[in-house]
Amino acid sequence: MKNPFDTFLMPMSTLLLGFLSALLLPAPWFGLALTRQLVEVFHLEDIGQLYTLVFCLWFLVLGALEYYAIRFIWLRFVDPR
């Protein structure tokens, strides 16, 4: 039987890596005209609110990508089963 801590540790460690990557990698920049258009389309208060949403989505996407990449590498090459 697997240790329950291992099943908890794998997603948490990969989400931590995604968080660190989100801090190190630059978030997408839309340009001033597109940014203003997106603020109007989504009925946001200002540009800061738009980039808060962008950073949150950027963190989630990077975390998910790293989770599946590390999980694939772990199951394919490291897992001793």
pLDDT at 27: 72
pLDDT digits (tens, 9 = 90+) for 29-73: 889 999 999 999 999 999 999 999 998 888 778 777 877 887 888
Q: Tell me how far apart the alpha carbons of residues 65 and 9 are, in angstroms, rounded to a whole number.
A: 17
pTM: 0.64
pLDDT at 61: 80
Within 8 A by CB and 6+ apart from 44, the residues are 38, 50, 53
pLDDT at 2: 67
Q: Tell me how far apart the alpha carbons of residues 59 and 64 are, in angstroms, rounded to a whole number.
A: 9
Cα 4 to chain centroid distance, Å, stands at 25
